[in-house]
Amino acid sequence: MATTAAPVTAARPLLAHPVRLRSGWLVAGFVAVAVAAFVGASVGPAAISPGRTMLEVLDRVPFVDIDSGLDARQSAIVWELRLPRVALGLLVGAMLSIAGASYQGVFRNPLVDPYLLGAAAGAGLGVTLVIVSGFSRSSSFLDPVPIAAFIGASAAVAIAYVVGGAGGRSVAALVLAGVAVTSFLTAAQTYVQQRESETIREVYSWILGRLTTAGWRDVVLVLPYFVLSTGVLLAHRRALDVLAVGDAEATSLGLSASRVRLAVVVAATLATAAAVSMSGLIGFVGIIVPHTVRLLAGTSFRVILPLSLLFGAAFLAGADVFARTVISPAELPVGVVTAFFGAPFFVLILRSARGTRA
């Protein structure tokens, strides 16, 4: 009895005095997104001034007529190359970040990331099989690589969830199932790559993560998944606060822990699979952004989920600007950039938080 009473008592202040999302943090999140979008649309190999870029965007606003001074080529660069890529980066960053935060709530561990249940391994195997088969070079209307990544990621998480059900879908059982599925699929991918070594370069170029678009088509494809998954996750932010006290206490408060866990895992998996299918495997976004928000703004998921959505979008869009300009005209994989800047930034925030508490 003594071992179960401690977490319940510790959790009661959270339920009695819930943390509210402060307007200042919300404004800061929207400002970060706006700044990242503006920089992303203004910076690139083609010399287009930020002021003219802003005027070009404003000129497309209904009932606004402004001459930006850009010619047809420069206007096409802004609208068909830069802005679609910025929009895709914002969507992917937001989905990875809110999915990571939601997984952290479901598994009650701030070090969990969106790839815990095997989404990355499943997507990697799916893409590897498509590249090895030669389908990736087909001229069909639908690109098979993102389709394979989406199916692989979704299937991996589904298998992990079914396997974890043997343990009553407890947190420990699901985590162990995710580790097992990840190990198996990674081994299968490695075997396929060794058999077809000439495709390793192409596979790794996808694994390292990239944000490339062919106009607005990719943005339109991923937008419904973004709306559906983030809507479900934001609707469950209060339930995640209750779930944080433990399954037994949540049940005593009238919450079905298993149903909440299933809904959140499905929605977070949908977001992760959609993001991975369009960008490859981009690490650190789903763990660093939510954890930083938790350290700076509060521990309630009413705060963490909305702010992770905004700051995750801004973080990845900003990282992509660096990736495509630092060695211009060549590009770095954006996954390398998020790892390079994400890890030191995480350490800095952690040390700052400890100093403030001291």
pLDDT tens-digit series, residues 51-107? 888 887 887 777 777 777 777 888 888 888 889 999 999 999 999 999 999 999 998
Region 169-178: mean pLDDT is 83
Q: What pLDDT is recorded for position 6?
A: 37
The mean predicted confidence, pLDDT, of the chain is 84
pTM confidence score:
0.86
To the question of domain 17-357 being in CATH 2.40.160.40, the answer is no
Q: What pLDDT is recorded for position 235?
A: 95
Compute the half-sphere exposure of residue 58: CA atoms within 13 Å on the CB side of its CA.
Answer: 12
Rounded Cα–Cα distance for residues 301 and 101 (Å): 8
Q: What pLDDT is recorded for position 208?
A: 84
List all residues 6 or more positions away from 110 whose beta carbon is below 8 Å from its beta carbon: 104, 290, 291, 294
Give residue limits of the domains in the chain.
Answer: 17-357
Q: What pLDDT is recorded for position 10?
A: 38
